[in-house]
Structure 1
Amino acid sequence: MSKYLLNKFLFTVDRDPELVERYRDDPQGTVEWWEAGEANRILACHTGESSTWLAFTDDERAALTEHDHVRLFELGAHPFLTLTLFIAMFERDNTEPLAFQKEYGRKLAHLSPPYPDIAT
């Protein structure tokens, strides 16, 4: 398991409006594409430098593919990263103000301290 990789995915997808839409519409394809080509690029964009060993676990891949923010939090993804990305993807589907944020909180309400470690 790599909390770093989960957070890197959430961070990089959230910062690209085209990737946000791609992830919303085709989560499995986006996760597969990102893991195959982007996951091992060095953050900070040094041209030509990359790693070769980072990959999602089956559980991480499933949580990302299912847009399961509760499971992502349980796996150690930072809640601010899931919240901002998922607001970008799903807030538009609601007519009530802050509806997605309220639902996000309700779905995490069963958790109590100590929360999963989100340090990377």
Structure 2
Amino acid sequence: MSKYLLNKFLFTVDRDPELVERYRADPRGLVEWWESTTANTLLNCHSGEASTWLAFTDEEREALIAHDHVKLFSLGSHPFLTLTLFIAMFERDNTSPLEYQKAYGAALAGFTLPYPDITT
């Protein structure tokens, strides 16, 4: 399991409106594309350096494809990263202010201290 890789995915997708829309419309396609093209590049590195070993576990990949923020949190992804990305993808589907954010929080209400470790 790589909390770093989960958080890197959430961070990089959230910062590109085209990737946000691709993730909303075709999560499996975007996750597979991102993993094969971006997972092993160094974050914020423009020199062409890359690693060769980073990959999602099946559990991580399926949670990303399912847009399952509760499972992602239990796997150690940072809740702020999932919240900001998922707001960009799903807030437009709601009719009242903060409706998505409240549902997001309610879905995580079953967690008690200590929360899953979100350090990378």
Shorter-chain TM-score category? over 0.9
Equivalence for 1:87: 87
Percent identity of paired positions between Structure 1 and Structure 2? 76
What is the 5 A alignment of 1:70-85?
70-85=70-85
Unaligned ranges ≥5, structure 1: none
Equivalence for 1:13: 13
CA shift, 1:25, in A, is 0.3
CA shift, 1:44, in A, is 1.6
* 2:45 aligned counterpart, secondary structure: coil
For 1:79 and 1:40, the matched residues in 2 are separated by 23
Question: What letter is aligned with 1:84?
Answer: T
Question: What letter is aligned with 2:47?
Answer: T
Question: What letter is aligned with 2:43?
Answer: L
* 1:85 aligned counterpart, secondary structure: helix
CA shift, 1:48, in A, is 1.6
Q: Which deviations, in whole Å up to 9, do the C-alpha atoms of 1:28-65 show, x marking residues without a partner?
A: 00000000010000112232210000000000000000
For 1:6 and 1:40, the matched residues in 2 are separated by 12
Query: 1:112 aligned to 2:112?
Result: yes
Query: 1:98 aligned to 2:98?
Result: yes
Unaligned ranges ≥5, structure 2: none
TM-score (norm 1): 0.99
For 1:96 and 1:48, the matched residues in 2 are separated by 45
* 2:24 aligned counterpart, secondary structure: helix
Query: 1:36 aligned to 2:51?
Result: no
